[in-house]
Chain A
Amino acid sequence: MAFRERIEKNTGNIFRSSEEGKYFPVVSRYTAGVAGQKFLEEIKENEKIFGTRCSKCEITFVPAKLYCERCFARMEKEHWVDVGTRGTLYSYTVAYEEKDGSPKETPSIIGAIKLGDGLLFHWIKESSADDLEIGMEVDAVFKPKGERRGSLVDIDYFKPKK
């Protein structure tokens, strides 16, 4: 297909002013925040997924947030809700490309998993894409405790409910 050739970028001959100034060597530190800290610690220490509930808006935010983004209320300690580790599949996709656009050796399935009123974005495994359906129940599979570092990927993946 001729038009595909035009999609290709011609980046081979780009004239660089200096190799020295080619990169942007800045590394950032990210603070998970008050809500993020507890959310990630509960995953790491207790294999639990927590949200925060705004009683006025009747929304349970997952991942947990310190404040309600609808009504601007601060969701204090008593608003923490254990939403369980079983969610429903809100949507899914099969990623055929690596982050840099190169083809993946093994495509990965990525799901948007509804927990409380929020979504977690994570891999779906132990299933083929053909067997997935929007609305089906999926369970979180955690990494072994010793491998958990306080990150979203302490959850290894989600799998369809057996």
Chain B
Amino acid sequence: MGKRVAIVGIGYSTFRTTSQDVNYREMIFDAAFKCYEDAGVKHPREIDAFVATSEDFMEGVSIADEYVPDQLGAATRPVESITGDGIQGLAAALMQVQTGQLNLVAASSFSKASNVIDYYNVVSYACDPTYIRPLKEHPYFIAGLEMMKYLHGTGTTKEQCAKVAVKNKENALDNPNAAYGSLVSVEDVLNSPMRFDPLGLLDTCGDIDGAIVLLLASEEKARELNKEPIWINGIGWGTDTPNLDSRINFGAEAQYAKLAGQKAYKMAGIKSPKNEIDFAEVDDTFTYKELQHLEALDICAPGDAGKLLEQGAFSSKGTFPVNVSGGSLGMGYSHEANGTQKVMEIVLQLRGEAGKRQLDGVKTGLAFAWRGIPTATGAAVILSKDK
């Protein structure tokens, strides 16, 4: 276990399905400004280094890391870019603080999905050129295959998956940052247009634009600043293999989530996740993914997530609330900010700033994100507060 590091500031832009007025750098500027103010940092000069998360093709420019510094107040300053999920960026920032050389490090991530007109081509281009792309199919067929295998292997039902969408979209109604809150029934989800059987339209997320900036501090610095420190107790990330053909139990289980969870739990000293963690924000890019991820993260046994969901265990008033924010199904999918969006909810909950959806007495939370089709990469982080 290295030096203790805390999240001491958080800022985010307005989340919305389209944002024709601001460009992505202005969105990040907005989030960064709010983050620094939240932490009580008067000027980005006080921050030692900056980490930006981004992904190929999502900015519409190449060598996108050159376009990072100015919006963070980081021109002429040390900047690093991470290609991956926001939690992987958070891990890079954490390690910088843990060197002992830096006291304050900012981490940004964003989504400007509404500007990516051919997103399906971006995802398709991520698929293997020799063994997947020749089919010229929409790459989400991979999710259809995974879901079919998961249902078949675990006995989980389509109805149980539908209930994930029902829960998360309803949760989102209590979240002012959520764009896809609504009251839908299980029948609405089951009857929504089929995309990649058994995956229907309402099993999938809509996109969202938005930026999130986090500020990390060493323990000493955290005690000096405005906000109650939210400690990063454990963090981990893992990749199975890029090859769909050789993944361990492809579809039936999420190996990457197991790897990421185990690493984060070990670092946080957690032996029994469901007893030592109070609530979680867990990737729900597709309905079945929430259930599959909960099982891989050892919150419950394989095949039990659907049943526990039906019993209300994962509802906001349940024994282990999952995606109180509304998750990606309710808030919208924020691409590389997917994990950061989940971290943001954990921070707001632990600070007691979650408004109508505030959970009582929560002290430790888990955020987990998957990097989406066609990847087998996930990242997990455990956050807690002092008392």
Contact = CB atoms under 8 A, between A and B. Distances in A.
A95 interface: yes
B124 A99 contact: yes
A94 B135 contact: no
Given A94-B144, A94-B196, A108 B137 contact: yes
Interface in B1-45: 17-18, 20
Given A7-B180, A99-B120, A91 B149 contact: yes
A91 B152 contact: yes
A2 B193 CA distance: 15
B131 A6 contact: no
Contacts of A7: 17, 180, 201, 206
Given A10-B20, A93-B196, A121 B180 contact: no
A142 interface: no
Contacts of A152: 130-131, 134-135
A110 B141 CA distance: 7
A108 B135 CA distance: 11
B144 A95 contact: yes
A49 interface: no
A95 B148 CA distance: 12
B148 A61 contact: no
Given A10-B18, A10-B20, A112-B145, A3 B180 contact: yes
Contacts of B136: 99
A119 B182 CA distance: 39
B7 to A, nearest CB: 31
Contact of A3 (B139, B148, B184): B184
A5 to B, nearest CB: 10
B152 A134 contact: yes
Residue with the highest number of chain B CB atoms closer than 10 Å, among A59, A99, A129:
A99
Interface in A84-111: 90-101, 108, 110-111
B380 to A, nearest CB: 23
Interface stretch (B76-84, B217-225, B245-253): B245-253
Contacts, number: 144
A99 B243 contact: no
Contacts of B118: 100
B137 A99 contact: yes
Nearest to A115: B245
B132 A121 contact: yes
A83 interface: no
A149 B115 CA distance: 37
Interface in A104-137: 108, 110-112, 117-123, 129, 134
B131 A93 contact: no
Contacts of B266: none
B196 A14 contact: no
B114 A110 contact: no
Contacts of A117: 246
A95 B196 contact: yes
A110 B245 contact: no
B141 A95 contact: yes
B194 interface: yes
Given A6-B180, A90-B149, A120 B245 contact: yes
Contacts of A153: 134-135
Interface string A20-34: 000010001010100
A94 B138 CA distance: 11
Contacts of A99: 120-121, 124, 136-139
Nearest to B179: A6
B129 to A, nearest CB: 4
A82 B135 CA distance: 23
B195 interface: yes
A96 B196 contact: yes
Nearest to B184: A3
B284 interface: no
A121 B20 contact: no
Contacts of B159: none
Given A120-B245, A121-B131, A13 B138 contact: no
B250 A112 contact: yes
B301 interface: no
A101 B148 CA distance: 20
Given A2-B182, A152-B134, 15 more contacts: A3-B180, A7-B206, A9-B18, A10-B20, A11-B117, A14-B20, A91-B152, A93-B197, A93-B199, A97-B140, A100-B118, A100-B138, A119-B246, A121-B244, A123-B135
Closest 4 CB pairs of A and B: A93-B144, A94-B197, A91-B149, A3-B182
27 contacts: A2-B182, A6-B17, A7-B206, A9-B207, A62-B245, A63-B130, A69-B243, A69-B246, A90-B250, A91-B251, A93-B196, A95-B141, A96-B195, A97-B140, A99-B124, A99-B137, A100-B120, A110-B145, A112-B149, A112-B251, A117-B246, A118-B246, A121-B132, A121-B244, A121-B245, A129-B197, A152-B130
